[in-house]
Structure 1
Amino acid sequence: MTSHISLEQIDRSGALRELADEAGALDSNGTRREMLRRTGIAGAGFVAGGVLFNGMLSPAQAAGITFSTKKKSVANDAKIANYALTLEYLEAAFYKAAVDGGAITDPDALDFAKTVAAHEAAHVAALKKALGKAAVKSPTFDFGAAVTDQATFLKTAATVEPVGVSAYAGAGPYIKELPILKAALAIHSVEANHAAWVTALLKYKFGGTDSPAPNSFNPERSEKAVLKIVTSTGFIKG
């Protein structure tokens, strides 16, 4: 039997609560916000393992990964691409671990996990190819119950995917080179597909109440806000 950890134990910064609020901020009925508060996050029981994301932020920032929101440049594009690559590393590892672990037994959930695992791996490969030797290395991860329990996996995916969508939306306006911008937009729309897919899966098969398309306009998030949210999951070991 999986041992669950409460939201209060892992969300000391309040970032996940903030995510729940922001995700429903443009949903007049408040259904997404309420679902995340009542069942989506607290019910998922995230397992915190290893060092939090802020444990790796210092070396990342020292390496110049933090991008500028003041001036566009080719060098800044590389920083944005590495920022995106770091997020894609996490997502690719998350879905691969879930598929390889064998805990996902529902055929529709497994189809989702396998398809998205392939997409995220392709995103990682494309970003690494574009960056060449400038690409950052992948951190190591510990996803705990998020990849060993099907219900937890689905709720985690439904929380992680909108973060990726908002991260690309937040970084996109600061990209200078058109090829990089096109690549970011292509990935951004796929991440939005993932978010809608898993939310629809939860709603129409597993009793979820969230809408796959709750907002007329989705929020964008700054690099700082995204990293704060990822920190709270405790997935990154170092």
Structure 2
Amino acid sequence: MDPLVRLKHAHDQGIIPDSIFDLVVKRFPITVSGINRIEKASGFQYPVAYVEPSLVISSSQSDSYEYGILFARTIPVLFEDKFQVVIQISAPLVAYGLKGTIHAILAHEFLHFLELMRKISKMDLVSDEISGNLFENMYSDETRLFEPRAVFNDRTLLNHITKKFPAGFRDYKLEDKVTKFWTNLNLPTTNISLDENTVKLSADSLSKIQLDPEFISKIDKLSEKSSKIRKKRLY
């Protein structure tokens, strides 16, 4: 899969202007280097990733004025009984994010991927939990993922994650750039509600997914290591 295929298609249709297209293509190697870095630091292969040519915004159902920017998402796909996890990376992140920010977000989504695979291996994903507001959603997000120190052996990468995700990702400088150079120019924006950003797979679908036993064994070891680190931090 060409990770820039959707961006190229949007550019060909005139949806994405030349200047933005050229900027994303020029800076995309930062994303590639981040993926390579994560694979080296974790010992796992990164899922399929692609650049989404729009700004993805998630809003709370209870408060239409409350919203957050989703610079990347982990999306499970089940097509003709074949399971695949895809990482969606927003074009504004590639265009305007600093190297450390891009790598931290890619690593964070990788943790989502690992947690998703852990739940699937335990048949524990019939219905993922839904939170009513963005703050609760961010808190839940941080408490259910693997501990980064259990997964990555890259100290600089761990520092990036710690600084960017103390309690939900916020990068005000990046958000200001995106507002100025993307939103204010009326470039493509995708709005989703929080309940659309959850995973829902039936028990029948889960039962058809076949996972590599060696991969699951590595996931289980990471889960145990992560649990030990979290207990030490709490007690």
The TM-score, its normalising length taken from structure 2, stands at 0.31
Query: Whose RCO is larger (CA < 8 A, sep 6+)?
Result: 1
Task: Judging by fraction of residues, say which structure has more helix.
Answer: 1
Higher-Rg member (1/2): 2
